[in-house]
Structure 1
Amino acid sequence: MDNATDLLETIEQETGPSPQWAIVWLHGLGADGHDFVPLVPELVRPGWPALRFVFPHAPVRAVTINNGARMRAWYDIVGTDFPTRADSEGVDQSIVQAGALIDREHARGIPAERVLLAGFSQGGAIALAAGLRRKTPLAGVIALSTYLPGAETAATTKTEAATRQPVFMAHGTADPVIPLIHAERSAQLLGSLGVDVEWHRYPMAHHLCAEEISDLGDWMSRRFEQA
């Protein structure tokens, strides 16, 4: 497994010259950075500023719940109980690695306030956890088909900056991987901590749908307009 301080290998796509905004997008368990590259043309709209999409590959590690099989994962899943299933050390390491990618965007001329941190499933869990700990607020956090790990300590780990980051959360009502109730509880918890959460549910399983992509595009448009 990569050291937490190593910069992850990434796939990048730019929608125009000299990007003004960046979207760091974290894939789900067992996938890799290629997974959401096809989403770019479906999501991007005319009139948006030039964007740089950054799709990192998670480190390869053994995943306990999958009989110890090694695969790309942002953290180990040690059981089926949602409050305790995420390996906290792995979560912490991935938060550092996501932060390093955000810092690299700053070094390339895109400050944190023009960076969106996005993730699906396990990647979305890291996006939410990282967002809560940000000392410099991002433009927003996108969390799809996911939940907040470490919810029991969220109130103590939350920073003041976290409440200045809007969050887009979306989930399928028939998700067999992360049941809807866990996502709803996470959205409610974030709201109780003062985070501005836009919550959506769709009649789907553990994936994305066209309506969701449209709603996300509307939310992103508002982020660009408000900057």
Structure 2
Amino acid sequence: MTPTVKAPEYLKIDSASSHTASVILMHGLGDSGRGMYPTANMFHQDPAFKHIKWILPHAPVRPIRANGNHKMPAWFDVYNFQFEGEEDEAGMLESIASIERLITEEVDSGIDPGRIVLSGFTQGGAMSLLTGLTTKRKLAGLAIMSGRLPISHRIKEMAPPHAASLPVFWGHGIADPLAKYVFGQVSVEFMTKEMGFPTAPATGEAEGIEFHGYEGLGTGMSREELGDLGLWLKKVLPAKK
């Protein structure tokens, strides 16, 4: 019998008022939910987001092949940092199932799936994509920071019909030497050409993929990027009146 996948351990920042929306914010390779706390807390301090609960999960510790099998927190193994060839599909599927458990906990607490955003930085962004594009629940949207879409050869067959209607925010540092800008470009091109995602309209509605490249930004998130993310979040998770 296959053991039941558990939700990952996590930090949380409860909503400052009536809880009507949730953001699951996933860290990158080698980090933890604590590394995402300053970003989540910054948004939490904004009255526009007082209705949002922030969930900051911790990835399990595992050996990373591309780093000499040194153990570190990771949502899946990395075989090489060029992301070429075989990938850790089993690890990705396991993490999808664990993040699904977090979504289920929010839904069971009374939050509509359409009021949940999956978001993440680098490897956490990859998990936001993999989970958001394959879950049967239609979420409010996906927010990707310096991420990429792994196992794209599987995604089309795994994605439910509503996947291409999800709003997506995508920010990427053009100068990032690790999570290279081209990884984001190739991923977005695949999603638009192969999966039918539209490009976000110039009128600013929360539709399609809103892609931003940030000049001079290396590994990390800039104030400009977080400002753009905040504007997008206000559109996809507005406070209920």
Output the TM-score relative to the length of structure 1.
Answer: 0.93
Matches within 5 A, 1:42-57: 42-44=42-44, 45-57=46-58
| Structure 1 portions without partners, runs of 5+ | none
| Further displaced range: 39-48 or 93-102 | 39-48
Shift of 1:226: 9.6
Give deviations 1:92-129, integer Å, cap 9, x for gaps. Answer: 00111111000000111112111000111111101111
Identify if the C-alpha distance between structure 1 residues 80 and 31 changes in structure 2 by more than 3 Å, giving closer, same or farther.
closer
**Could you tell me which residue of structure 1 aligns to residue 131 of structure 2?**
130
| Structure 2 portions without partners, runs of 5+ | 198-207
**Could you tell me which residue of structure 1 aligns to residue 223 of structure 2?**
210
Give deviations 1:167-206, integer Å, cap 9, x for gaps. Answer: 1111011111121111101011112212321100102001
Give deviations 1:21-56, integer Å, cap 9, x for gaps. Answer: 000111101100101111124334323351110001
Secondary structure at the counterpart of residue 82 of structure 1: coil
Counterpart residue identity of residue 40, structure 1: A
Secondary structure at the counterpart of residue 226 of structure 2: helix
Q: Number of residue pairs matched?
A: 225
Aligned: 1:200 with 2:212: yes
Shift of 1:158: 2.0
**Could you tell me which residue of structure 1 aligns to residue 10 of structure 2?**
10
Q: What CA RMSD, in Å, does the superposition of the two structures yield over aligned residues?
A: 1.7
**Could you tell me which residue of structure 2 aligns to residue 89 of structure 1?**
90
Q: Distance in 2 between matches of 1:41 and 1:138?
A: 22
**Could you tell me which residue of structure 2 aligns to residue 23 of structure 1?**
23
**Could you tell me which residue of structure 2 aligns to residue 38 of structure 1?**
38
Structure 1 residue ranges, 4+ long, deviating more than 6 angstroms after superposition: none
Identify if the C-alpha distance between structure 1 residues 35 and 9 changes in structure 2 by more than 3 Å, giving closer, same or farther.
same
Secondary structure at the counterpart of residue 98 of structure 1: helix
Give deviations 1:138-173, integer Å, cap 9, x for gaps. Answer: 000111111000122332222212122111111011
Query: Would you say the 8 A contact 1:145–1:172 is kept in 2?
Result: yes
Query: Would you say the 8 A contact 2:13–2:41 is kept in 1?
Result: no
Output the TM-score relative to the length of structure 2.
Answer: 0.88
Q: Distance in 2 between matches of 1:179 and 1:159?
A: 29
**Could you tell me which residue of structure 1 aligns to residue 205 of structure 2?**
none
- Report sequence identity in percent: 30
Matches within 5 A, 1:75-86: 75-84=76-85, 86=87
**Could you tell me which residue of structure 2 aligns to residue 168 of structure 1?**
169
Q: Distance in 1 between matches of 2:91 and 2:51?
A: 33
Aligned: 1:154 with 2:150: no
Query: Would you say the 8 A contact 2:6–2:98 is kept in 1?
Result: yes
Shift of 1:17: 3.4
Matches within 5 A, 1:101-116: 101-116=102-117
Query: Would you say the 8 A contact 2:43–2:49 is kept in 1?
Result: no
Q: Distance in 2 between matches of 1:176 and 1:116?
A: 27
Counterpart residue identity of residue 234, structure 2: S
Q: Distance in 1 between matches of 2:11 and 2:41?
A: 15
Q: Distance in 2 between matches of 1:51 and 1:169?
A: 20
Q: Distance in 2 between matches of 1:214 and 1:52?
A: 19
